Structures are given as structure tokens and as C-alpha cells.
Amino acid sequence: MAEFIRFDQITKFYGALCVVENLTLGIEKGEFVSLLGPSGSGKTTLLMMLAGFEAPTSGEIVVNGLAINGVPTHKRDMGVVFQSYALFPHMSVGENIAFPLQMRGTARAEIEQRVARALDMVQLSALRDRWPSQLSGGQQQRVALARALVFEPRVVLMDEPLGALDKQLREQMQLDIRDLHRRLGLTIVFVTHDQSEALTMSDRVAVFNKGKIEQIGTPRQVYDQPATRFVAEFIGETNLVEGVVERVSGGEALVKLPSGATLCAVADSAVAGQTVHLSIRPERIDLSDSRRPGGNSLETEVTDSVYQGDHLRVQLKNPAHPLIAKLGRRSQEYPPGTKIYASFAADDCRVIAP
Amino acid sequence: MPLKLTRAVFASLTVLFLIAPLIAILPLAFTSSVILTYPIPSWSLRWFEELFTADAWRRAIVNSLIIGGGTTAVATALGTAASLGLRNHLLFFRGSFRTLFLLPMVVPAVVLGVGLQVLLARLGLANSYAGVIIAHTVVAVPFVVVSVTGALSGIDKRVELAAQSLGAAPATVFRRVTLPLAMPGVLSGAVLAFATSLDEVVLTLFVAGPNQRTLARQMFSSIRENISPAIAAAAFLFIAATVAIGLVVVLSRSMMAKRR
């Protein structure tokens, strides 16, 4: 499929500070792409440049085959949803949603209809004549969403739209937005620092760090096959174990830990003799009384275990590295001091680029 | 409890200190005596009558309204434009510019008066309404700038960005979003400008001719010639007008606030 939006070698400086560095990214029509990263990683700046609020220092932004660098915001035809909602406080809910249609010279009768439909879409029809200040945070954000969608923009940009909402509401809104995306076939660029939000909603996730994209892929790819140490640590929780590659064969590497134990790991690129990190997700670790035949097994001792409702979190100590394991709720209790084997499949143990 | 009491007493004393001069002068507006002194022999409205019938006073009131109105319009427009300009982060020496706009507040009025007199004479505006309005505008603009800048800084920048992204050109953003949101500040700036003009004596002494004698100026000169209670009546009008305008602003503000 052809790329609908393309960031081509975008660089952005604020004074001497480089916030986006030579970044290239393509987004397809109808795709939901999350820009995920810690604050200051350049994700919001990239979104602001797409919206036209900021200009790139160098590089080109192309939408639908046309460079839009010189196009002012109001002619870009993109709906933007902000974390702070940014509703017009001096207009009613209905007037807020009618605003983009008025700007486009839509006929009065049609505005009426489309505002009604948009309100219906976000289930706020009853609140049409209220003022924004009379609404709860979640309702305000739904109004902002309706306002950004009512004029059927070619792209919807969302800058941490759910950041100000409480957890339960946020999760509901995540599903609502995902549903709207599917129903209306929208192209959405979604900025967030919440990894679970990005995994829940996106077709693809671009993980940002220090003005660059560390990895871009489906939620499954970035979680199961993190390309770099940053991605492995930023998305979900992981155990990082250092070791030296002994030998490589057919995408698998044998890695020797400082304790002398060896682990079998998936490796895209590794050279014998190289010092590498291995990433092992805590929920992929199994505990057993005896060494498992086949796969990896490390001899460890339990230092602490915490019951967390949906899972049991066990901290382990082994001669080389502390490990964390997350076990399903049917697992037994492990008192501190228990000697035990931590086992995991070679597939669940990955060599990470340093 | 004693602390609360002390606070209340202190607050009352402060308020008393501030309004004592008003309490002293206002009753004299309703005296029947021909001189401005206590005790008041009997109550009468003769001095208000004098105010509206005596030619000098009537003209002074009209002049004050003309000059006050003109000053309000010019100062509000200029001050609002200046505040909008001062929002621009790209502007160099933004702080210095801001101070420059507030300078007329601290420069002694006598200095401004002399300067304006020379300048306006050069421009051929001496002894004209335009000249007086310009002079009053100079001292009124800072009040508008302070008030509008305050209102503008309360606007979430993202609201304006949102308007842009929804298809509003910069001029439309200003008309539909920025100005309505800053309106309370613009209104109070306008009221302050009007009050400043109404109250201004020193500059008026320098730049106004006999035909532009304002109410304040008239009070100032008549108090030297004859201490007539008409001055007290004029003062009463002054205060009543100011309070009325203030009430209108407060009411319109609270009505706007209710909508948010």
C-alpha cells in the first residue's frame, strides 16, 4: 500500500537543542500509528510539525504525495485532539462541534445534522447546549473528539488525549477510539507515553528515544522482539542479563553468563566473543524444583514474593543477576530462601543490540 | 478569635482610611448653604441644579464625556493591539517593550504635560479636543495594557491552536476565539481608561484650551476662585458615574463567567 503520510529526513532544533534527528517515517491510509516514548523524546514535536504548529528545521513532510511544509495549519485539514481538550470555553458543546463546519462554509441545515450525528457518535446528544465547564473530563474529551472528527479530516492527530483521565475512563476511551478508528476507517497518529495504551490501540507503534525512532512495528513485534535495550525496557518489564556470545548458528546464539551458566537465545545479529544483553520477559519464566530438559534453566534462590491479585511476582537471586518472574494465579507460594530453577524457552530469550 | 477580631478591625480601619475623604465631601453636595462647610443648615438639590444650568459646569460635563469617550476608544484599541503584540515570543526585548508601555504610569505628570504641550503645539493640535484626547490616551494606555495582558495570559494557547487546526485563518481565530476570551480584560481596561481621563487634571492644565475645560479641570479652578458646594455636587456625580460603570463591568463579567 502506498504511504499516505511521509516524514522525510526530518530534523528539528530548538536553539542548539536537537529534538528530532533525521527522522523518516511512513504512515499508510487508514492506519493507527502510535508515537510512543518518554517525555522529551520528540514524539509530540513530530506531531506538532504534522499539524503545522511547528516547522521542521530541515526535511520534508509529504501528505498524499504533496509536500505540506509551507501549508498553514488551517489549510491542512487535520483534526487535532489535545490532552487539555482545548474546547472553546465561550461556546456551547454544539457550537464547539459546529465550529470546523462553519469554517468550511457548510450550510446551516447540514451543520445541524452533522453536529447531531457527531454528538450521537460520542454518546453526548443530551449535552448539546451545555458549556464545556459543566462537563466532566471524559465528556469534554469526547466533545473534543467529536469536534476533530465532524469535518471528516484526512488525518486525526491526538496528543496524549487520555492523559488527564482516570484509569477506568482511560481504558474505556481507548476501546471507544479504537472502535471509531475501525468503523470510520480513520488515519490516526496518536502520541502517548503510556506503553499499554499504545499496545492496546495501535496497528503499529513507533518507539521514540532522544529524537529518533528506536523501533517501529506491530504491538506484538515491539513487545516480543524488541530491537534495542531501550525498547525492551520501555515497553513492559524485562530482565536484562549480560553475557558473552560463545558461538552463533542459524539465528541462535549460545551466551555464557559471568556465573558460568550458558543460555540459548534468539539473535538477529551477534558475533562470537561479543558482550551482549539478553532480554527475558518476566511472565515467560517458569519456576520448577528440578532442571528442565531442553531450553534454558538457571539455578536461583527466591528473595521475595509479592501477591498482586492477578499474578504472583517473585524476585530471584542467581549468582550472576537478579531476576523477576511473574507467575499465573494458580502458582504456589514461594517463601524466601527457596532454591529453585528458573526456566524459559530459547524463543523467549533475545539478544538485544547494545 | 482575637486574631480574627484584630483582622476585622484592621480591615475596617483601612477601608475607612480610604473612603474617609468621600464621606467628608459627599454630604456637602446636598447642602443649601452657599459655602463648602459643615454644619449643613438644611438639605437641598440646588447645587445639582447649578451644575446642570450654569454654563461653565454644563460645558465641563459635556467636555469630559467627549474627551473621556475619545480616550477610551483610542486607548482601548491601542492598548489591546499592544498586548497582542507583546504575546509574540519571537519579539526581542519583550520585557523592555512591556516596561516601555507602562512608563507613562510612573513618569511625573508634570514632565509628560510639558512634553506634550511642546509636541502638540508643533503638530498644531494645541488647544484642540484631539490634543487632549492624545494626552489622556498616553496615560490611559498602560491601564489597558496591564488589564488586557492579564486576560490574554489566561487564555490556553492550545485553544487557539485547536481553532487553527479546525480550519480558522489567523484573523478568524482572533475574532472568534482570542477576542471573546479576552473581552473581560478589554472591558475593564476600557473602564480604567475612561476613569483615568475623567480624573486627569495635570495634563489637561497643560494641553487643554478654554474650550476643552473638563469637569476635573473645572473643579480644580473653581475651588481656587470660590469654594462653592457645586464642587461637592460634581464630585458626587463623578463617584456615582464611576460606581455605575464599575457595576456594569462586574455584572457583565459575572454573566460571562456563568457561561463558562
Of all residues in chain A, what percent carry a pLDDT higher than 70? Answer: 98
Residues of A with CB under 8 A from a CB of B: 51-53, 72-80, 82, 84, 86-90, 99-100, 103-104, 131-133, 144, 147-148, 151, 157
* Overall average pLDDT of the A236-252 stretch: 86
C-alpha span between B135 and B191 (Å, rounded): 17
Q: Is the pLDDT of residue B46 over 90?
A: no
Query: Is residue B32 a part of any domain in this protein?
Result: yes
Domain range for B117: 26-259
Please write the tens of the pLDDT for every residue from A34-86: 999 998 899 999 999 999 999 999 999 999 989 998 899 999 999 999 988 89
Residue A215's nearest CA partner among A58, A353, A61, A49 is A353
Q: Start-end ranges of CATH 3.40.50.300 in chain A?
A: 3-232
Of all residues in chain B, what percent carry a pLDDT higher than 70? Answer: 97
CATH of the domain at B127: 1.10.3720.10
- Taking CA atoms, A54 is separated from A10, A49, B163, in Å, by 12, 5, 15
Q: Is the pLDDT of residue A134 over 80?
A: yes
Cα A164 to its chain centre, rounded Å, is: 17
Mean of the per-residue pLDDT values of chain B: 86
Q: What is the DSSP letter of A202?
A: -
End-to-end alpha carbon distance in chain B: 38
Please write the tens of the pLDDT for every residue from A267-318: 877 788 888 888 999 989 888 888 877 778 888 888 888 888 888 888 888 7
Q: Is the pLDDT of residue A353 over 80?
A: no
Strands (E), chain A: 3-14, 17-28, 32-36, 58-63, 66-67, 78-81, 155-159, 188-192, 204-209, 212-217, 239-249, 252-256, 262-266, 275-280, 286-288, 296-307, 312-317, 322-327, 339-344, 349-352
Most confident of A86-95, B22-31, B33-42: A86-95
Residue-level pLDDT at B43: 86
Q: Which fold is adopted by the domain A239-352?
A: OB fold (Dihydrolipoamide Acetyltransferase, E2P) (2.40.50)
Residue A321's nearest CA partner among A235, A230, A224, A243 is A243
The second-level CATH assignment, the architecture, of A3-232 is 3-Layer(aba) Sandwich (3.40)
Residue-level pLDDT at A354: 67
Residue-level pLDDT at B256: 67
C-alpha span between A21 and A11 (Å, rounded): 5
Which residue on chain A is closest to B259 by alpha carbon?
Answer: A131
Supply the ipTM of this predicted assembly: 0.80
C-alpha span between B260 and B251 (Å, rounded): 15
Q: CB pairs below 8 Å between A and B: how many? A: 77
Q: Is the pLDDT of residue B259 over 80?
A: no
| Interface touch B165/A51, C-beta < 8 Å | yes
| Confidence at B1, pLDDT banded by 50, 70, 90 | low
Residue-level pLDDT at B257: 64
Query: Is residue B129 a part of any domain in this protein?
Result: yes
Q: Start-end ranges of CATH 2.40.50.100 in chain A?
A: 239-352
C-alpha span between B25 and A170 (Å, rounded): 64
Residue B212 in contact with residue B128, Cβ under 8 Å?
A: yes
C-alpha span between A334 and A329 (Å, rounded): 13
| Interface touch A86/B169, C-beta < 8 Å | no
Q: Is the pLDDT of residue A123 over 70?
A: yes
- DSSP lists the bridge partners of residue A11 as A58
Residue-level pLDDT at A119: 93
The domain total for chain B is 1
Q: What is the DSSP letter of A127?
A: G
| Confidence at B67, pLDDT banded by 50, 70, 90 | very high
* Overall average pLDDT of the A13-30 stretch: 91
| Confidence at B91, pLDDT banded by 50, 70, 90 | low
Set of chain B residues whose Cβ sits within 8 Å of the Cβ of A84: 156, 158
Q: Is the pLDDT of residue B260 over 60?
A: no
* Overall average pLDDT of the B86-96 stretch: 74
Residue A188 in contact with residue A80, Cβ under 8 Å?
A: no
Query: Is residue B33 a part of any domain in this protein?
Result: yes
* Overall average pLDDT of the B175-199 stretch: 90
Tell me the one-letter amino acid at A162: L
Least confident interval from B147-161, B193-207, B211-225: B211-225
* Overall average pLDDT of the A223-250 stretch: 88
C-alpha span between A301 and A350 (Å, rounded): 23
Interface test with B, best of A47, A68, A99 (most B CBs within 10 A): A99
| Interface touch B166/A148, C-beta < 8 Å | yes
* Overall average pLDDT of the A153-163 stretch: 91
Residue at grid coordinates 462541534: A97
DSSP 3-state percent helix, strand, coil across chain A (nearest 5)? 30, 35, 35
